[in-house]
Amino acid sequence: MGLLISILTPLLLLPSVSLAPPLSLRTDVDPSSTSSPIDPSEKPSSTTSLEDESELEVRRPTAEKVKRATLPAAHTPAKHGDTSGESWIAQRTMVEDYCGWGWVKKDKESWRQARWVALEGTPRTCPLPHTFLPRPVDDKNYQYRFFGTLAPYRAYEPQADMWVDVFILKGFMSLGPAKEEIRRPPPAQASSGVNRYADRAPNLLRP
């Protein structure tokens, strides 16, 4: 029995020791000296240098940060045009052979409630963000805060025969790369009714 207790006791105590919160760091400073008033001429204490190190850790370039900084979209201005008034969150999304700029939503809305829009710049106030970049695709999956309004008219999407909303851009702020791509397809319902004339074969012109 005594043998069993001597074996089980260390086994029961070991996890409680290993899961215990870490002990506070020891400092080389003499506890008695902490009560003395701080001389302003003294060099910064060891705690300040620790903060510096943590800040260095934050500022240290990681692969992700290097990738973000070298993205062409990093060249878009942080802020451009008239950035006052109502704003929307926008994410650049490119769909092959489909007219439009991407998705926009209000701050409190989810991306599921976002609208697919074609983007129209305001002459002499705010061009489209990608015009600051080498290629229009360079800000793909980049987020912006857009300032402007939805136009009273729509845009025609010729591939899908669709009408899409138009956002008139007055200003924007860059928000950086989006966390993830929006994979929701843009609207694809035909604008006009079923083509009852399509059944009629066109009359070929004889040369």
Partner 1 sequence: MDRSFWLGPLLLLLFALSAQASEVILISGGPAVRSFEKFKSNSHDKYWGNFIDSALQRVKDLQKEGKNKDKVVWLVFRPSYLSRGREDGQDYLKILEERGALVGAQPIYFDNKNQLLLLLRRDGSIEKPKISRLEYFGHSNKKCWMFDYSNRIDGGALEPLVLHVDDLSQISSSSFTPDAECISYGCHSGEEFSQRWRMIVGRPMIGAVGKTDYSDGGMPKITEGKGGTWVY
Residues near partner 1, by CB under 8 A:
97-101, 118-120, 128, 131, 135-137, 153-159, 161, 163-164, 166, 191-192, 195, 197-198, 200, 202-205
Token pair 């934050």 is found at 58
Q: Quick one: 18 or 203, whose CB is closer to partner 1?
A: 203
DSSP state of 158: T
Contacts 24+ apart (CB under 8 A), 103-110: 103/182, 103/184, 104/146, 104/167
Q: Quick one: 52 or 153, whose CB is closer to partner 1?
A: 153
Report, in Å, the least distance between residue 82 CB and partner 1: 19
> What tokens does 33 get?
């000296």
Report, in Å, the least distance between residue 139 CB and partner 1: 13
Q: Which residues of 141-155 are buried (b: 16+ CB within 10 A; e: fewer)?
A: bbbbbbbbeeeeeeb
Q: Quick one: 128 or 173, whose CB is closer to partner 1?
A: 128
The span from the CA of 182 to the CA of 83, in Å, is 25
Report, in Å, the least distance between residue 116 CB and partner 1: 12
Report, in Å, the least distance between residue 183 CB and partner 1: 20
Q: Quick one: 9 or 195, whose CB is closer to partner 1?
A: 195
**CA nearest to 172, candidates 102, 112, 113:** 102
Q: Quick one: 115 or 163, whose CB is closer to partner 1?
A: 163
> What tokens does 178 get?
């989006």
Report, in Å, the least distance between residue 203 CB and partner 1: 5
> What tokens does 132 get?
């600051």
**CA nearest to 101, candidates 113, 114, 110:** 114
